[in-house]
């Protein structure tokens, strides 16, 4: 059952600053289904209100999410290729954080493509994936260690990891600050938490496509960084992708953790409100995005068909993509940004 058809409960207060003053910024999701989206007037965090309860959210991600978005219980070869190409782009940012044999956990590992490539490159990588079908594919087809479940079911030794990654996961979490705290417990002192989410300030998509039923939260760089501080982590950097579609924050676990108190973010709500107001369908039509993105998609589809024709299974395909990373002089993403690939 899709999330918009599930009974919902009002949000009591903002996850970041505990304010109870919200302004509605959306009434429908990208498919035209009812979805009330609000912004905290105190800090600018954008989120769904009301939303399903914990059990309903867990059930949706366990069985329904991948079918709803990919129309598949397990990844097809084209899905593995697309996610593998995304993993290549992500590796460009992760490699400076890694040393030979780094211990890495990819939470929300999907079909396991990033974990597989990390292991091919010599790292001690594993995954956690809530969706049963995709997690079983990771284990049975790719042969990689992936736990099935969410943060509540995660079995990870404290202070055992050098790096934890959450790619397009935090926006789905009911309580992202609590999840970040749990991830911090898994890290060694000096370990990194790498988080990428869609950017609520994005201007590279049509305004009507901004809010999704499965995205409980919509971050910008300021609110994502503040979520990490609230979890007791130090902000190393926060940046947006080349096209502005995604925002990334890298956090470090300090020797002594001090959780930031709930507090407002000066002018952030005004900034987001102005961007949402000014990014109209007419304004978007006068940018290059509506016209260049279809061309980029056609080019990716051509590359996809060529790659699938050369590969008999997902493991062979991902091994080839991993070798491309090992041969950087031959590796090319054809000028495509990570965020563009992720939106295929």
Q: Quick one: pLDDT band at residue 279, thresholds 50, 70, 90?
A: very high
Q: Is the dihedral of CA 69, 73, 79, 83 positive or negative?
A: positive
Angle between helix axes 221-230 and 176-186 (nearest 10 degrees) is 60
Confidence check: pLDDT of 277 > 50: yes
Torsion of CA 37, 40, 45, 48, to 10 degrees: -20
Confidence check: pLDDT of 119 > 50: yes
Tens-digit pLDDT profile for residues 154-174: 999 999 999 999 999 999 999
**Paired tokens of 305:** 């068909």
| pLDDT at residue number 298 | 86
| pLDDT at residue number 138 | 97
DSSP state of 304: H
Provide CB contacts within 8 A for 147, sequence distance 6+. Answer: 126, 127, 128, 129, 135, 153, 154, 155
Helix (H) or strand (E) holding 191: strand 187-198
Contact predicate 232/271, CB 8 Å: no
Confidence check: pLDDT of 343 > 50: no
- The torsion angles phi and psi of 124, rounded to 5 degrees, stand at -85, 85
Q: Which of 60-69, 188-197, 331-340 has the lowest mean pLDDT?
A: 331-340
Q: Quick one: pLDDT band at residue 341, thresholds 50, 70, 90?
A: very low
DSSP state of 219: B
Mean pLDDT, the chain, as a whole number? Answer: 90
Provide CB contacts within 8 A for 310, sequence distance 6+. Answer: 320
- The torsion angles phi and psi of 48, rounded to 5 degrees, stand at -80, 135
**HSE (side-chain half, CA atoms, 13 Å) at 279:** 19
**Paired tokens of 238:** 């926060």
Pairwise pLDDT comparison (4 vs 207), residue with the higher score: 207
Average pLDDT value for residue range 177-186: 98
Instruction: Give the strand order in the sheet containing 187-198.
Output: 146-148, 124-129, 103-107, 161-167, 187-198, 246-252, 234-240
| pLDDT at residue number 72 | 82
Average pLDDT value for residue range 317-325: 93
> Percentage of the chain surpassing pLDDT 70?
93
| pLDDT at residue number 337 | 36
| pLDDT at residue number 20 | 97
Q: Which of 226-235, 275-284, 335-344 has the lowest mean pLDDT?
A: 335-344
Beta bridge partners of 194: 165, 250
The CA distance from 224 to 220, in Å, is: 6
**Paired tokens of 295:** 């061309």
Confidence check: pLDDT of 3 > 80: no
**Paired tokens of 30:** 């990208």
Confidence check: pLDDT of 330 > 50: no
Confidence check: pLDDT of 108 > 50: yes
The predicted model scores a pTM of: 0.91
Contact predicate 41/23, CB 8 Å: yes
């Amino acid at each position: 059952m899709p999330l918009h058809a599930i009974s919902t409960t009002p949000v009591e207060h903002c996850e970041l600053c505990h304010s109870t003053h919200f302004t509605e910024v959306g009434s429908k999701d990208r498919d035209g289904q009812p979805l009330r989206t609000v912004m905290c007037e105190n800090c600018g965090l954008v989120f769904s209100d009301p939303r399903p309860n914990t059990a309903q959210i867990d059930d949706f991600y366990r069985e329904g999410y991948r079918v709803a978005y990919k129309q598949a219980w397990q990844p097809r070869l084209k899905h593995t290729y697309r996610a593998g190409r995304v993993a290549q782009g992500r590796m460009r940012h992760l490699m400076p954080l890694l040393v030979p044999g780094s211990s890495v956990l990819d939470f929300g590992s999907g079909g396991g493509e990033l974990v597989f490539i990390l292991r091919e490159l010599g790292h001690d990588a594993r995954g956690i994936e809530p969706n049963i079908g995709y997690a079983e594919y990771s284990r049975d087809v790719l042969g990689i260690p992936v736990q099935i479940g969410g943060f509540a079911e995660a079995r990870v030794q404290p202070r055992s990891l050098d790096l934890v990654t959450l790619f397009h996961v935090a926006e789905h979490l009911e309580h992202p600050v609590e999840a970040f705290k749990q991830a911090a417990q898994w890290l060694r002192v000096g370990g990194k938490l790498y988080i990428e989410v869609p950017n609520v300030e994005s201007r590279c998509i049509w305004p009507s496509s901004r809010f999704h039923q499965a995205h409980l939260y919509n971050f910008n760089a300021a609110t994502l960084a503040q979520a990490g501080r609230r979890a007791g982590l130090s902000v190393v950097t926060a940046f947006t992708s080349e096209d502005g579609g995604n925002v990334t924050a890298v956090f470090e676990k300090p020797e002594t953790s001090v959780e930031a108190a709930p507090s407002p973010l000066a002018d952030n709500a005004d900034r987001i409100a102005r961007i949402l107001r000014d990014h109209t369908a007419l304004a978007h039509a006068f940018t290059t995005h509506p016209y260049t993105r279809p061309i980029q998609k056609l080019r990716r589809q051509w590359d996809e068909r060529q790659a699938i024709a050369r590969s008999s299974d997902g493991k062979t395909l991902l091994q080839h993509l991993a070798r491309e990373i090992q041969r950087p002089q031959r590796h090319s993403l054809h000028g495509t940004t990570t965020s563009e690939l992720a939106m295929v």
